[in-house]
Structure 1
Amino acid sequence: MRGTKDALNPRSAHRDHRKILTVDGRVAFVGGWNIGVLYTSWRGTHLRVRGEEVHEMERAFTDFWNTYRRDGLPKLPPVRARSWDPTLAFHVNDPYSHTFPIRDEYLRAIDRADERLYMTTAYFTPGPAFRTALVKAAERGVEVEILIPERSNHALVDWIARSYMGELLSARVRIFEFKDFMLHAKTATVDGVWSTVGSSNVDTLSFFGLHESNLEVYSERLAARMERMFELDKTNAEELTLEKWKDRPAYDKALQWGIAPLRILG
């Protein structure tokens, strides 16, 4: 039975939020792209993967299917092939077994960032440790830029996200708001070397409450493409500066103060 926290959340917890497609153990797709007419105008990002890492993604699907399949559905044969590619790592969150590697993946990358860190997320409600990592990175001179939707499809989550802006902007974290369309991508790239693409947002629900999947990639070629994509997205975004934040209307400030206790729902 779901607790009060989950019942009040605009997005239900403990559900499968992953977006994975594997074909014949040779090619796979992973990212944040939904399939449906509603999502054709949403801005999403997906990766096509070839090679041994496809087996890891195929096994993740098979294990999940066999664990949660309903009576009458066939059991899939186990995927016995394994991969050990140091340039790729496929991570899966499992809230039922309390396994949350995606948040740790992000925190390691932020902690190691030396020059630049570009992050895109549909929902942005980072916990204390995550915010501290971003602030410390900015304070040591890392160019930290975060791209979020100006308005997402979850108004409450947007308001919770806005309650963190002052803290981050004061630390010289730059925040850009994507305009006119729903930004649904979940990506990050650091120092032209490391990137991640997947289904996990930078929020408490994705990190601890949903089944998620992200691919971590060490590739200068991919990182360069990710940086170009980030700069292109910024052409459809407006920067939220500290000055604009301080000059926001009084009702805006009052609402964010009142909504602060709901941060736990992020």
Structure 2
Amino acid sequence: MPQRKPDHRRRHHAQLSAGWSGFVTGNQLTLLQNGEEYFPALEAAFDRARYEIHLQTYLYENDATGQRVAAALQRAALRGVKVCVLIDGFGSRNLPRQMRERMRSDGVNLLIYRPKISPWTFRRKRLRRMHRKIVTVDREIAFVGGINIVGDRTANDDQAPRYDYAVAVEGPLVEAIRLAAQRLWSRLAWLSLHKEMAHRTKMPASTFTGGSMSAAFLLRDNIRHRRDIEAAYLQAIRQAQSEILLAHAYFLPGLEFRHALIGAVQRGVRVVLLLQGKVEYRLEYYAVRALYGCLLDNGIEIYEYRKSFLHAKVAVVDDHWATIGSSNIDPFSLLLSLEANLVVDNDAFGAGVARRLKETVQTDGWRIRAEGWQQQPTYIRVFSWLSYGLLRLMRGISGYERENGRARSQ
């Protein structure tokens, strides 16, 4: 295996993409796997809140988990904490009106991002969703990841829990996350004519000390930060020297991203993909598989997670650079939705994430081999390419191709 160069980490800092606020040191980061680790930590943080809570999520379900989180938010609101919950109009479209009204009557400020939805239009504005999963509590702790407010298990209780990750952040980076959540909240409060919700909460500075980890908070929006998350991925992949691990629920990279991965393999870097192995959304599932042949032929290892639904959006490069967040590697995340990722440059944290991913690949990953893939039935190949073509058509109608062209010219 190629050895990491001594200046590898310094180059990460020297070549930050435009719009990236950079790495902030002095943080303590805790990796949380699945809801069984995430929701107890979230509830405990809510019960410690004294001034303000921001919760922004794509999907909020009225299940036992959603009700448990709502109860913790209510307890905070009754103590006088300002509680701000932002949900997406499409992702949370099944949240009953009674649940929303009960939360509001309990003192929770609730806003809906783009509440008007239509399944019959591919207009760009309708496809742009709020896909972030961010929580901040005072200036003390923040959570960033891919976990929605929904139970880990589907209706089939015999199935393993949904596979996903989040990170608890303590330290100076919390303020950057809090300000990003507050800015989006204030903008939507004004636009929805609820300006009384937009006022800022006065609170003391964080009391946390003692962290040593370096991390950055990245957003994807439709104004200033359109390519920040993708640029961070590409930078890390192009600088990789030994190993790249990617775990993604939806993996439909563009040509530039695919070329970066193939270029890494040609440099002697091991590239491992852990992808969705169960059919959740049929169109996306088969569209991704249309790319398997090209990726396998170029030496990229592909494993499918079939134990339950894979929902993670995680990457580790060379056991020290890691990212966890809400952004998939597909056109809807990279160039349409509002996303948020945490990027970490720390040996201990990166190695810990890599260890968990490798354990999952080893125990629950079904390896797809090139020789076997070439023997798949013709009808599967045809359906995969039809699905891929349909998704390309959808992103063209949505304005993805035009916006992608402009982004690459800047």
**TM-score (norm. length: structure 1):** 0.90
Q: SS at 2:265's partner residue?
A: helix
Change over 3 Å in CA distance of 1:102–1:39 after alignment to 2: farther
Q: What is residue 207 of structure 1 aligned with on the other side?
A: 334
Rounded to whole Å, the distance in 1 between the matches of 2:250 and 2:358 is 19
Q: What is residue 182 of structure 2 aligned with on the other side?
A: 62
Is the 1:6–1:13 Cα contact (8 Å) retained in structure 2?
no
Q: What is residue 194 of structure 1 aligned with on the other side?
A: 321
Q: Identity over the aligned pairs, expressed in percent?
A: 32
Change over 3 Å in CA distance of 1:5–1:208 after alignment to 2: farther
Residue of 140, 144, 150 corresponding to 1:36: 150
Structure 1, unaligned runs of 5 or more: none
Q: SS at 2:197's partner residue?
A: coil
Moved more, 210-219 or 62-71: 62-71
Q: SS at 2:127's partner residue?
A: coil
Q: What is residue 244 of structure 1 aligned with on the other side?
A: 372
Deviations 1:121-168 (A, max 9, x none): 110110111111111111111000010110242110111101111111
Q: What is residue 49 of structure 1 aligned with on the other side?
A: 169
Q: SS at 1:102's partner residue?
A: helix
> Which structure has more RCO (C-alpha within 8 Å, separation ≥ 6)?
1
RMSD: 2.7
Rounded to whole Å, the distance in 1 between the matches of 2:373 and 2:321 is 31
Runs ≥4 residues deviating over 6 A: 78-81
**TM-score (norm. length: structure 2):** 0.59
1:1-266 equivalence runs, <5 A:
7=121, 13-37=127-151, 41-69=161-189, 70-72=192-194, 74-77=197-200, 87-97=214-224, 99-234=226-361, 235-264=363-392, 265=394
Letter in 2 for 1:201: N
Change over 3 Å in CA distance of 1:162–1:186 after alignment to 2: same
Is the 1:18–1:211 Cα contact (8 Å) retained in structure 2?
yes
Structure 2, unaligned runs of 5 or more: 1-113, 155-160, 206-211, 396-410
Is the 2:130–2:338 Cα contact (8 Å) retained in structure 1?
yes
Q: How many residue pairs align between the two structures?
A: 261
Rounded to whole Å, the distance in 1 between the matches of 2:346 and 2:378 is 46
Distance apart, 1:76 and its partner CA: 3.6
Is the 2:287–2:385 Cα contact (8 Å) retained in structure 1?
no
Is the 1:15–1:210 Cα contact (8 Å) retained in structure 2?
yes
